[in-house]
């Protein structure tokens, strides 16, 4: 077993995003533009009563967005007519591919809204594929009981279970993990994959180093990681295969070259962004 250690830590930067929303951003800041194949990680946060706040209509091309809700509900609508609610514990893995134009708006309620949005890059050969959604309701996520922890598994394999997110080229692992008792646990991580941990309202110790809540711990390579904390300490562990291709990026467009970005902006400006419209394929449940 080759244990992973902490390569670097990134404290989230709190900033406004969308309309009236606050995000705590780690990957995707100016200092950490990407962590191949990850392009952005936001912990979304909307205090209760922020009526009308959200992410109104905007495009994406060339990558995937993963939404994992902790509290509150988000309504998703796109220009192809797809619509759905993502509630506490639900996940959506959206492959924007050649293009999606959508809105992500919190459903007004007394509850605060919290969740994660992770952007995952697509390899060059997949950047212009048809859009695709995988919507997974909370009760469809396997709950894996390990030695000292319980993990809700969105993607990848853990102790013989497999998360429902499938057919993603970069072989992601994504789990929401809680310590079931105070102490140290050991989790497997795919050798050679980029991996990080992020505490949810929890201070942790990762490979012997304290990691505060709302801080991204990027791991060195290896096939396992040791995490210590109090009973109930909670975090996400995410890993995926790096892509190793050049990245050209402008806002919600992530391609390989400046010329492709220019072409995308041209498509957007002259109204041909969604021209080759093919109905988005769907899998998983819809609420
Ligand atoms: Fe979006």
Residue 284, domain member (yes or no): no
**Ligand 1 mean position to 121 CA, how many Å?**
14
Do 232 and 150 lie in one domain? The reply is yes
**Ligand 1 mean position to 276 CA, how many Å?**
20
| pLDDT given at position 37 | 98
**Ligand 1 mean position to 95 CA, how many Å?**
11
- pLDDT tops 80 at residue 277: no
Residue 216, domain member (yes or no): yes
| pLDDT given at position 274 | 87
Nearest to residue 198, comparing CAs of 275, 259, 115, 271? 115
Residue 190, domain member (yes or no): yes
The single residue listed with the structure tokens 């790096």 is: 242
**Ligand 1 mean position to 76 CA, how many Å?**
9
**Ligand 1 mean position to 58 CA, how many Å?**
6
Q: pLDDT over 70 for what percent of the chain? A: 95
**Ligand 1 mean position to 209 CA, how many Å?**
34
Q: What is the pTM of this model?
A: 0.93
**Ligand 1 mean position to 104 CA, how many Å?**
6
Residue 150, domain member (yes or no): yes
Query: By the 8 A CB rule, do 128 and 78 touch?
Result: no
Do 85 and 185 lie in one domain? The reply is no
Do 69 and 200 lie in one domain? The reply is no
Do 149 and 16 lie in one domain? The reply is no
pLDDT digits (tens, 9 = 90+) for 179-227: 999 999 999 999 999 999 999 999 999 999 999 999 999 999 999 999 9
State the sign of the Cα–Cα–Cα–Cα dihedral 7, 11, 15, 21: positive
Do 65 and 102 lie in one domain? The reply is yes
**Ligand 1 mean position to 200 CA, how many Å?**
22
Do 171 and 225 lie in one domain? The reply is yes
Do 15 and 113 lie in one domain? The reply is yes
Return the CATH number at 227: 2.60.120.10
Nearest to residue 218, comparing CAs of 199, 244, 196? 196
Do 182 and 267 lie in one domain? The reply is no
Domain that holds residue 190: 141-242
Residue 188, domain member (yes or no): yes
| pLDDT given at position 49 | 65
Do 67 and 130 lie in one domain? The reply is yes
Do 131 and 181 lie in one domain? The reply is no
Number of domains observed in the structure of the chain: 2
3-class state of residue 196 by DSSP: strand
Residue 177, domain member (yes or no): yes
45-75 b/e with 16+ CB inside 10 Å = b?
Answer: bbeeebeebbbeeebbbbbbbbbbbbbbbbe
- pLDDT tops 50 at residue 142: yes
**Ligand 1 mean position to 134 CA, how many Å?**
15
Residue 282, domain member (yes or no): no
Do 234 and 256 lie in one domain? The reply is no
| pLDDT given at position 284 | 34
Do 87 and 175 lie in one domain? The reply is no
**Ligand 1 mean position to 234 CA, how many Å?**
26
Residue 31, domain member (yes or no): yes
**Ligand 1 mean position to 208 CA, how many Å?**
36
């Amino acid at each position: 077993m080759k244990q992973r250690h902490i390569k670097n830590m990134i404290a989230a930067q709190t900033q406004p995003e969308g309309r009236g929303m606050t995000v705590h951003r780690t990957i995707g800041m100016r200092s950490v533009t990407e962590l191949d194949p990850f392009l952005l990680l936001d912990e979304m946060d909307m205090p209760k009563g922020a009526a009308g706040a959200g992410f109104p209509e905007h495009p994406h091309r060339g990558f995937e967005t993963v939404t994992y809700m902790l509290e509150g509900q988000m309504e998703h609508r796109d220009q192809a007519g797809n619509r759905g609610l993502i509630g506490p514990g639900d996940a959506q893995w959206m492959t924007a591919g050649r293009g999606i134009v959508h809105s992500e708006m919190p459903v007004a309620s007394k509850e605060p809204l919290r969740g994660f949005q992770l952007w995952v890059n697509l390899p060059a050969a997949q950047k212009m594929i048809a859009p695709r959604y995988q919507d997974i309701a909370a009760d469809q996520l396997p709950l894996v009981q390990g030695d000292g922890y319980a993990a809700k598994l969105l993607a990848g394999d853990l102790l013989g279970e497999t998360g429902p997110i499938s057919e993603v080229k970069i072989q992601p692992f994504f789990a929401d993990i809680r310590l079931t008792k105070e102490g140290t646990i050991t989790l497997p991580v795919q050798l050679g994959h980029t991996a990080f941990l992020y505490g949810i309202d929890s201070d942790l110790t990762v490979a012997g180093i304290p990691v505060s809540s709302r801080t991204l711990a990027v791991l060195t390579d290896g096939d396992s990681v040791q995490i210590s904390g109090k009973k109930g300490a909670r975090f996400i562990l995410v890993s995926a295969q790096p892509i190793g291709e050049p990245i050209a990026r402008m806002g919600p467009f992530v391609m390989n070259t400046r010329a492709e970005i220019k072409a995308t902006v041209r498509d957007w400006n002259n109204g041909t962004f969604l021209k080759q419209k093919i109905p988005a394929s769907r899998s998983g449940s819809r609420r």
